[in-house]
Structure 1
Amino acid sequence: MNNNSFLQILLEDDSGNKRKLADLKGKRIVLYFYPKDDTPGCTVEAQNFRDLTPEFNEHNTIILGVSKDNVDSHSRFKSKYCLPFNLLSDINGELVEAFGVWVEKNMYGKKSMGIERSTFIINEAGEVIKSWKKVSVNDHAKEVLEYIKSL
């Protein structure tokens, strides 16, 4: 990612509102990409970010989850787990491609394309300042929060 063109990508959130990251300049963003709504690892990750949201908010930081699920799926997932942050629907894969997280996966010998669980920190100026790839959900949200606190 050599430029900030990703800031202009327009996606729908879990309520069907069109959003772009450029509209959030002035705040830090935790942008986390996950494979699929309401699956075990993705649910744990979302709940961990949910539980730490007040602390992220104290540090001028908002959380956004991104997957290729549709708006209805995101809405159900958000409601079921009382997620206090928005989930962005990237059905066409524009943002996942821009961040390089649409990759070939190998599960039980079967190759397929999917989202590599990844997290990016975007600063107030709209620049990516930190990334985690191939994330393990255990303690990841805490690790991200500790990084935010160190800024």
Structure 2
Amino acid sequence: MPSRETYSRRTIAGAGLGGVGALLTGGYAWNQYSRRHYLRLRYLRARNESDEPTELSVTVDSERDAPREETIRLEATGREGDETHVAGRWIKHTREWAVRARFEGRALSLSNREINERIDSGWGVDDAEITLLVTESRDLEAEIRPQV
């Protein structure tokens, strides 16, 4: 005659809670993994280190939003206003943003993946500070730091 095992309510409740815990942990981990390239650009700035005034065209776009282009006039080094804060939706919304800048035939393009690589990002959403920089030799560079 086959033996019949019975399980107590505690055993069944414990197994059920363990399953729910595993499901919630897996859901959280998947959410972090799926958003691993998302950024919130807390500070997007432009700075001119050359001794000539510059007009810099900055474009920020994502898959969900139409590209937003802004032309910024940067004064020469040592004058008031040689660094400008660029405001937009990227300050509050976490998405995959692409930042492009150009002036006088020079161009710079930064994708989320490139930004995340430079700030040594892990899983989940990160905040970044980006400064678009016109150097003394009139080249275009970017300073990227994690926002702490």
TM-score, normalization by structure 2: 0.30
Whose helix fraction is larger, Structure 1's or Structure 2's? 1
TM-score, normalization by structure 1: 0.29
Whose strand fraction is larger, Structure 1's or Structure 2's? 2
